[in-house]
A and B are shown apart, each in its own frame.
Chain A
Amino acid sequence: MTARSTGFMGSNDSATPERTEAAHGPAARRAASTRRVVPGFGLTLGYTMLYLSLIVLIPLSATFIRSLGAGWGHFWAVVTAVRVVASLRLSFGAALLAAAVNAAFGLVIAWVLVRYTFPFKRLIDAMVDLPFALPTAVAGIALTALYAPNGWLGGLLTPLGIQVAFTPLGVVVALIFIGLPFVVRTLQPVLEELDKDVEQAAATLGASEWQTFSRVILPALWPALLTGFALAFARAVGEYGSVIFIAGNMPMKSEIAPLLIITKLEQYDYAGATAIAVVMLVLSFALMLGINALQSWTLTRNGGA
């Protein structure tokens, strides 16, 4: 059944009845109801699908197919090899830790940027996106120079017995750098849109500053915080350029999974490289789905007045 437009431009859905009453019969009506007013649907959708397939889908599927090329048994053997497991553990573990640090500090930073004023705030706010804009290789060598034993920060930490460069700690530091904007930028809009009345209501009911924060504000921020955490984590897991210089790259100790993939590739061990890649992809995709679910949850929970 076609919906009646409320005017020539009125309707929000794509169905538009013919203006002349030439709705002869159900077939014509059905045809009319699926016709779209704005042109270009077939063309644009077709191009989109084509481009998407060529650039993204087909190459990715090649990875999956090749990974099983040598059989499921081989796949499993590769994936459970000690060195591979160690590299996955480092990549995912460091990413988790870095994302957690980013969540905590990102909250502080977002809070400070939204709620307080101080000199150069606008500049600092713009700078938060630096990790997003800076090429990863540049970040990598910069962080290494900074945390090497003779670097500006490394020089301060080494006497204290803390080695950052060429250790797993360096990996974490690099991943913190990479993931920072994700948490801050996800939190900022939510913080900005917090209802001030609600905070004042809590105050009139006798809540202290801390109680207002922990009972009223933080619950409203959880979804965004988790989303930011997940985004930072997803980005950090696959990170290569910023990490490769500071990591040390010693197998079993400070070798990240992407490096292992490259190593296997250089040895023409395609099955091995793709196996690791598939594991990373599956885990990352699961993450993305989780993020999307989180975002839907955010909206349903905080929707409405």
Chain B
Amino acid sequence: MSITLRGVSKQFGAFAAIDDVDLEIPTGALLALLGPSGCGKTTVLRIIAGLETPDTGQVLFDGRDATLWPIRERKVGFVFQNYALFRHMSVFENVAFGLKVKARRERPAAGAIRDKVQSLLELVQLDWAGDRYPTQLSGGQKQRVALARALAVDPEVLLLDEPFGALDAQVRHELRRWLRRLHTELKFTSIFVTHDQQEAIEVADTIVVLNRGRVEQTGVPGDVYDLPRSAYVHRFLGQVNELRVKWHDGRAHLGPIDITGDPALDAYGSDRIALVRPHEIDIGSASNGWPAIVRDVRVIGPIVRLELCADGQPANEPLEAEISRERFDMDRFHIGQRVGVRFRRWQVYPAAALGSARASRA
């Protein structure tokens, strides 16, 4: 089922949670709504589910106006952040719930319900837990039950609200992989909300980045990461170094590096800042590039993070660079060493855009 949002806005009291949002989600998409707390992503999800009603705008399911449809008619599966399992029911009864409350004409026979629940429990690898109660399960297990429960009614859309937030790193990693596989197998439309850009990039086919109730950018993970359209997105999707663009004799510089040709520098004398990702920094000999001193070296598994104090930069704003382990093993940079810094890529933004986009990252 495809979902379209048109001009959707929602206010809570004086607080504008979402402001004029347009989204198109084709059937079978695996989409992430990404942003920090308060950006409106959960509100968008809940509006799609019918748990909130928009103040303005339309929600279309397969082209039909579903804005006023009650929750129970939307055929959406919703997985809550804190699982919301029925505590007084066993795992089996939880998963069977959606089937048991169907109207008499639509309700499957008891045997059919049992089979379906069993197969779902097998799907989520909890077939042994049918008689257990939610209080006896771990967080990851509860989340899987919640998922099975939502899938039991054959929803056309699966909505997940920060589904893995409360879990350990290892469990989170497994469940993410597992959700992708499930999505590929069962082919439903799937939308999940997260504030963790790592999770969004790992799981989703499409990412929608939200900021203060508005959509900042939509695209595949690679594009959103490599071709950010705003400083906000650039900063939110990964680490960045911020460098002030300095003007000298009519030429623009980052340190000693001349970047005058950059099309984003349209006004002489305007305040501009360049954002550079750690892995977009090249480190070579001191004579080749911006001179800097290595302040710290951290070997983190397959990558090595270097803290560099470039000449002319304040001491409390070091550059963070990331290089591959292989590279590091070859060059063996050490603390105190003088090196030369070059930038493979950078993106220039107005300084004002950064000031207003001080988003907190995951």
Please report A residues at the B interface, Cβ cutoff 8 Å. Answer: 195, 197-198, 200-208, 211, 215-216, 219-220, 301-305
Contacts and interface: CB of A to CB of B under 8 A. Distances in A.
Nearest to A199: B84
Contacts of B83: 305
Given A197-B82, A200-B71, A305-B82, A207 B87 contact: no
A206 B72 contact: yes
B49 interface: yes
Q: Which of B88, B135, B150 has the most CB of A within 10 A?
A: B88
A198 B101 contact: no
Sorted nearest first, the 3 A-B pairs with minimum C-beta distance are A205-B98, A304-B135, A197-B84
A304 B139 CA distance: 12
24 contacts: A195-B82, A198-B85, A198-B87, A201-B80, A201-B86, A202-B86, A202-B101, A204-B51, A204-B71, A204-B76, A204-B78, A204-B150, A205-B97, A205-B101, A205-B149, A206-B72, A207-B101, A216-B86, A219-B88, A220-B88, A303-B135, A304-B134, A305-B83, A305-B135
B97 to A, nearest CB: 6
Contacts of B72: 203-208
A173 B153 CA distance: 48
Contact of B86 (A198, A211, A301): A198
A200 B84 CA distance: 9
B87 A200 contact: no
Nearest to B83: A305
Interface in B40-86: 49-51, 71-72, 74, 76-78, 80, 82-86
B146 to A, nearest CB: 8
B78 A200 contact: yes
Given A206-B98, A304-B135, A201 B87 contact: no
B88 A205 contact: no
Q: Is the interface of A mostly helix, strand, loop or mixed?
A: helix
B3 to A, nearest CB: 15
B102 interface: yes
B135 A198 contact: no
Contacts of A304: 87, 134-135
Contact of A201 (B84, B134, B152): B84
Contacts of A216: 86
A198 to B, nearest CB: 5
A202 B96 CA distance: 11
A239 B49 CA distance: 52
A301 B134 CA distance: 11
A195 B153 CA distance: 22
Q: Which of A205, A207, A208, A302 has the most CB of B within 10 A?
A: A205
Nearest to A200: B51
Contact of A207 (B85, B89, B97): B97
Nearest to B75: A206
A204 B76 CA distance: 6
Contacts of A203: 51, 71-72
Contacts of A211: 101
B101 A302 contact: no
Contacts of B149: 201, 205
A220 B88 CA distance: 7
Contacts of A302: 87-88
Nearest to B46: A200
A219 B72 CA distance: 21
Contacts of B82: 195, 197, 305
Contacts of B102: 206
A221 B150 CA distance: 24
Contacts of B150: 204-205
Contacts of B98: 205-207
B77 A206 contact: no
Contacts of A208: 72, 101
B122 to A, nearest CB: 20
A254 B77 CA distance: 59
Contacts of A215: 86, 97, 101
A211 B72 CA distance: 12
Nearest to B88: A219
